Structure 1
């Protein structure tokens, strides 16, 4: 996969360099051509950025299998941090993130890896939520697990796609690759990390409402 990506990167990079050279070496280029070349260069740069992001995703996948460094953390504080990080994105679509979690609720996790889980789920919710909607996060306990629940409003995920949503390199909507720029690893990484914590992650979707439920064990296994 890395070899394929390395090969793919050469094409947009060559285009970026080529068009920049034209812009640099032709000072009296007509304005319409200058605008056209600038636009093409920007598109190729975005393509290059997406491919580089895929490299990072693959690197993260390899890091996922490293040992856990678990500690008790306040779930609310971790989620609030994620909310702040996502504000520049959610504001683009006039979305909000609302968190309803008790301040004293502790989870025994690897904080960095669990932050990656929440990041990947929120990124998915952001991309597939409608504009002007709210992403709700709440938590509760049952006899065995702490449930961290993420809810968003967007197109209903068909049942045949729900069965594949946690597979590596699976993209929910191929037509949106240019917008999301993802490699299809985010939810697979989230599932792997949760399972490392002896937990479960589930998803359901109906009536334009999607729910991700991250279940972390109350007691160390």
Structure 2
């Protein structure tokens, strides 16, 4: 399509320019053939008129000085040099034969040609003997005609009196050679037209190419823009409308590229929002299902044991005490889970306020270990922790204690009997890292990234062996991230390691 456009546009420009040149050359030929004779004739008439006026003025000037052109006593010409110069000047410059004749004697006073008397006789015959001559100009005193002799020779001739009514002015210039001049001029124009036409064709092609190339470039750019390819830019360096058009197309290309990029970004964000909404809906469904599952068992136990008490199944004190302890225990679990959910919601929404202070993390870990020493004794595990190095952290001590407690409690719940737990704290100058390792079964690799989700348990049956609700690690992650930190878990050696890293300041 672009190539077709190229040929069409170049052909049109070439044909238009060639047509204009052809019409111009044809017009010049027609004017030369038919107008040159008229122009030449008018120029000669004009020259004869000017010569007559100058001669008439000079004759009257001579008369005013009392110097007659004809001496009455000798009847000889006494024409002065000034008049002779005028006559010879026009004769030599414009090829006009001029003769002054005395009207009384009908003899030549002065002539620019040797055959002055013959000229007088021929012109008189032309004016007097042939009344059908073509009169070119006449003002009463002087008449100019186009005279053709018997030999088919043409002259432009003038005949008339000066203002002294005595001196006759006769002028003649040949026009027979004009036809030959026109013919030669026409042949010359034909040759020039052929050469000019060839040059015009070449120049027209070059000019058409100069005009169409940037247009084709712009057409190609617009074609690419239509295909959303904005890499092509107009790189011309002109100073005309095409340059302006190219710059505008570059500007439009940049704006379109930016607009489409922003639209794509908006579409990506929209897709992410849709995915996020779908994920939130899925999380909401899972949350409701998990909460329902977690609450179903304690509620059923509370309901069952409460009905047993109500129906008097526990007659002895020991049975009633057992029933009430179960009810209290399940109520406490429900209460703990609700509190954890409220804490997690507060952390995730950003409404939880951190009360940061500088505290000794080593001392906090020792305190946690002391509070769960009974569990440690039941498991018969060996705990390694270097309590001699003091590590200070600027954070919310209460919330960090909750994180440490969760990590250590989980390690105790999942460590093998007579196993090993290693607790380590380090300071690299910028971050404080806390890690807990316990020997035991590794976490399946596919579950490593999911354990931080609410209600997620590696035990798909949601076992109540350890009384966990599946919310603890979600709270841990929310607390650490609120401190601009990160959590991690990995399977190493013969066990699992949980850790977190928090900036010191």
TM-score by length of 2: 0.38
Q: Is the 8 A contact 1:147 1:215 kept in 2?
A: yes
State the partner residue of 2:410. 124
* 1:124-148 deviations in Å (ceiling 9; x for gaps): 1111111112221111122531111
* 1:192-211 deviations in Å (ceiling 9; x for gaps): 11111111111111343111
Matched, 1:54 2:337: yes
Residue of 112, 130, 142 corresponding to 2:398: 112
Q: Is the 8 A contact 1:117 1:193 kept in 2?
A: yes
Distance 1:21 1:169, change over 3 A: same
State the partner residue of 1:199. 485
Q: For the residues of structure 2 that align with 1:131 and 1:56, how far apart are their CA atoms?
A: 31
State the partner residue of 2:473. 187
Q: Is the 8 A contact 2:306 2:327 kept in 1?
A: no
Residue of 407, 418, 421 corresponding to 1:135: 421
SS in 2 for 1:53: helix
Cα distance, 1:174 vs structure 2: 3.0
Matched, 1:70 2:356: yes
State the partner residue of 1:154. 440
SS in 1 for 2:390: coil
Distance 1:46 1:208, change over 3 A: farther
Map 1:205-216 → 2, pairs under 5 A: 205-216=491-502
Cα distance, 1:98 vs structure 2: 2.8
Q: For the residues of structure 1 that align with 2:393 and 2:425, how far apart are their CA atoms?
A: 11
Higher relative contact order (CA 8 A, sep 6+): 1
Distance 1:154 1:25, change over 3 A: closer
Q: For the residues of structure 2 that align with 1:14 and 1:39, how far apart are their CA atoms?
A: 15
Instruction: Name structure 2 gaps, 5 residues minimum.
Output: 1-287
* 1:10-34 deviations in Å (ceiling 9; x for gaps): 432221112234455757xxxxxx9
Distance 1:38 1:106, change over 3 A: closer
State the partner residue of 1:90. 376
State the partner residue of 2:302. 13
State the partner residue of 1:31. none
Q: For the residues of structure 1 that align with 2:426 and 2:503, how far apart are their CA atoms?
A: 12
Distance 1:8 1:213, change over 3 A: closer
State the partner residue of 1:217. 503
Cα distance, 1:49 vs structure 2: 4.8
Cα distance, 1:69 vs structure 2: 0.6
SS in 1 for 2:393: strand
Q: For the residues of structure 2 that align with 1:182 and 1:171, how far apart are their CA atoms?
A: 9
SS in 1 for 2:307: helix
Cα distance, 1:118 vs structure 2: 0.7
- In terms of fraction of residues, the more helix-rich structure is 2
Distance 1:96 1:19, change over 3 A: farther
Q: CA RMSD in A?
A: 3.0
Cα distance, 1:51 vs structure 2: 3.4
Aligned length: 212
Matched, 1:172 2:443: no
Q: For the residues of structure 1 that align with 2:330 and 2:357, how far apart are their CA atoms?
A: 39
SS in 2 for 1:179: coil
